[in-house]
Amino acid sequence: MREDDIFFDDVGSYPMPKGVRRESLDKKQYLQLVRDVLARKSAAGVEVPTYPQFRDMIRMFMDPIEDPKLAESPYRIAKENAKIQELEAVPTGQKVRVCVTGPLELYISAFGATNYTDILFSLAKSVASFLENAKDAGVMAVASLDEPSLGMSSNIVFSEDEILEALEIASAPCRGMDSEVHLHSPLYAEPCARVSGISIVGIESAANPDYLLLIDKKVLEETDTYLRAGIARTDILAMTARLNDQLGVNLWGDMPRLEAEVLRQESPQVMKKRLDAAYRQFGARLRATGPDCGLGSWPSQDLADRILANCSAALKEFRKERKL
């Protein structure tokens, strides 16, 4: 990736093949499924695909962290055990976006509205170990901390200083490289920009374009931090509910029409307008783009692929106009 270019990545989750259940797959079959989906994402034009998150974003990390056989102390996994199984499926020579659920998200899943800072920091050290191992394995092009509840959940009762310290610990292995934090709210975008291990703040700006108005470009410049702007909506349930109201139908009972209406609404032209708007506001501070969030709730792999392909087409046209 060129340092002056905007790259296209995805957030992670992706539909399972029709009729397939993850629980029915052995390890070999599961890794082949992950490998197949990485290939599908690349074929759709995703430049830095995330390993597909078919497992629960909390349990895939908390289960090993809480396993006393794998831990060196409570909520502190031993570094040699902090492995992400899906990365075993990454083809030789390919690098991916490695998404690890952040320490705040992990903490509130287990402890809710409490403030045991020692446990929070232990979880942050565990997150850092997962990222460090992925980096050492040579498969990580982009790192990401997934913190969707930050700025939204009333269960997070830590002070801002404690939150930022946890993010500093978790993101420490990512200093000096493209490292994102994935947020669902812009309220913590500027504080996250001050974390030394975070270089890109990701915002869901396709579904919520006004979110970008809450981010000060000067803060990004002062902290030498960049923006990831979402240009494709992924809230398929809300999108379909609105279309049902507009059209007076139930699109869930007519899947071909649902797909056609969604693709009409989320066309390359619509996505490029969103990308143009983000670029007008942030210019060179815009570093990454793609769908708002994951596509795991979408009804089919084919529709997910077509949304990703529309993102790719929008970015290609954007680059063509600017000769990037």
Write the pLDDT tens digit of every residue in 35-73.
Answer: 999 999 999 999 999 999 999 999 999 999 999 999 999
CA distance 269 to 258: 19
Architecture of domain 7-322: Alpha-Beta Barrel (3.20)
Write the pLDDT tens digit of every residue in 269-314.
Answer: 999 999 999 999 999 999 999 999 999 999 999 999 999 999 999 9
Instruction: Tell whether pTM > 0.75.
Output: yes
CA distance 150 to 163: 9
- Which residues, 6 or more positions from 54, have their beta carbon under 8 angstroms from its beta carbon? 13, 14, 16, 22, 30, 33, 34, 296
Res 5: pLDDT: 86
Mean of all residue pLDDT scores within the chain: 95
Q: Is the pLDDT of residue 1 over 90?
A: no
Any idea which of 11-25, 37-51, 81-95, 303-317 has the lowest mean pLDDT? 11-25
Residue 69 phi/psi, 5-degree rounding, is -75, -20
Average pLDDT over residues 118-137: 97
Q: Is the pLDDT of residue 324 over 90?
A: no
